[in-house]
Amino acid sequence: MDVMYFAWVRERIGLPRERVETQAATVNDLVAELMAREERYAAAFADTSALRVALDQVLSDFDAPLAGVREVAFFPPMTGG
């Protein structure tokens, strides 16, 4: 699946997107796999309450299943102005 990172998540990880092979059942499982990779991922996902996630461009929850999902995007909450 494609995993995309935006704003400070992208800055901490150092990539805008990557292709990930995963056996994760949920977004939380995927986050755990990513955090186990390297410190930069652990830093980016240290506080998931400060993040939002979209699955195939639809806002979702971190406990959402990943079955059939092609794209996961992580980003901080948006502010208006």
The whole-number pLDDT of residue 57 equals 97
> Which 3 state secondary structure label does DSSP give 73?
strand
The whole-number pLDDT of residue 29 equals 98
The whole-number pLDDT of residue 79 equals 59
pLDDT tens-digit readout, 24-33: 999 999 999 9
Q: How far apart are CA 68 and CA 4, in angstroms?
A: 17
- pTM over cut 0.85: yes
Helices (H) and strands (E) in the chain, counts: 3, 5
* Residues in the chain where the model's pLDDT stays below 50: none
Q: Which residues, 6+ apart, have CB-to-CB distance to 63 below 8 Å?
A: 26, 27, 28
